[in-house]
Chains A and B, each alone.
Chain A
Amino acid sequence: MESRQAVSHKERPAAPVGGAADHEIALQVRVKSGYKLESETEMTARYRDVLVQTMLIAADLELSTITMYYTPLLMAPTLETKMAVASAMQDELGHAQVMYRMLEDFGYNTNQLIFERDPTEFRTFYLTQHEIKDYIQCVVYMLLGDRAGYTTTRDLEEACSFGPYARSLRKVNFEEKFHVAHGERWTRFYWNHSAETRQRVQEAIDFVFPNAVMWFGTPDHMKKRVDQLTYKIRGQSNDELRQRWLAEVVPFCESVGIRVPAHFEPALGRYVLDYQVPILLDEETGKWSDTPCTWEAQFAQWKKGGPTKVSGFQRLQEDHWGADLW
């Protein structure tokens, strides 16, 4: 979850001394051996901070789905698909509820976080800062994007050293599994449905895939902040999670016949991308560049954010009635 995409994330530089340092090390050793914390009283300030920031980003990401999936809800071609999108959104907002509720125990107020926070201070990833155009793109987002989220939340459920958070993710992962399965089922359907829908699926894959790759953040060798792993808030590194995601989506896409810019490299024993990261998205055309950019340029694009980065949360703080509706 922790990533360079969270550009506004300001972790406290922790400099424990003396007994405090011993306390930090003791906690790190305990969680490494599998110990689960059950209460805030067991935490060091640094642990608490890393945990809270992780939960805040996860909660904001879940909330951002109300904007992401809204256009597909309006554009859905049948009643059945409208129900599928509305139901998936209901699930995601339920997940947001579970996560913000957890933050209440750390002194946050959900209403203040959602309705009074400056909309520029919500923290999401570039993947979630784009409006999904229609139902076909929506099922591809479920296939790749929900799968990326599911990869992250599964890791948290399996590994997180804060017991209440790990347990709360059972419900989340139980439901995310259905979203991913829905994405797989209907992506396959549209791929085989007609030449036109096949083309739409491929276009959606081309748009979403590089963005979902970036969901997992910078490569491990660039990461400077490792507290999430040190304190076992999560279990796997950015590259490990990305590899886990690739190992699930690439074989699926290949089995359907969908082209994805990644393959398994037997000599390395892992999946590799067919392009060099980082690459930039041209937001005007919706196309990714063919040539890599600098990481500075990539960070600048993430910092600026996609089209709905701010507007989506701003909308939740506004009332639109009467002629604004229809």
Chain B
Amino acid sequence: MSLIECRQLTKKYTRGDNEIIPLDELDLSIEAGAFLALMGPSGSGKTTLLNLIAGIDRPTAGELRVEGTDIARLSRSKLARWRSTHIGYIFQLYHLVPVLTAYENVELPLLIQPISRKERHARVAQALELAGIADRHDHYPRQLSGGQEQRVAIARSLVTDPPILLADEPTGDLDRASSKAILELLLRLNTELGKTLIIVTHDPTTTHYAKETLHLEKGRLVSEAPPALAAEVKSAGDGRGERDA
């Protein structure tokens, strides 16, 4: 069974008299260990799909199973608990808490886990180390660069050891060099730790790192890789992550 299964997944909003359908009867299966790039124009439903998988939003119709759990049927509190152990979410604008240090930001998701202080400390230290930001553990977000902030955010998403990492435009606010470093870090998390990674992006560079690229338009899957990109992605195959080095 796939890690994530979407069947006829639909999301509709009503704004005034207009009905907006960001996701329209989407069928999709994502295997464990995937590194999937979701691309498409603005309003194509990429972030909506990501939010549905994260349990941040609920589908209007269809079925969404993650690790066999129909998450749309979970109550709000159960969903929050489920999310804290199954999903790591990485935001474009990092969303770090400004009054907390890097260490404390990373520690935040663990404070709701039933673990000892010692274990918490060990996990935070490990996550900071993995994200390559351990030397800035006592810095506040305002004292960090964009790339460093995103590393802290990645460490925060990792610290609960979730099987799935979701990233919404993780390099959208970064310069080229920082973007490359972040993508390489994400690739390492996928290849070395086996995390399933789904990235929403507008940046074609990301597809060089992803194992698979899906395109969405008007809430529907148009292809797994448009012809123009397919060759490029394929050529990235063996040496993934080295394109922009």
B is a partner of A: no
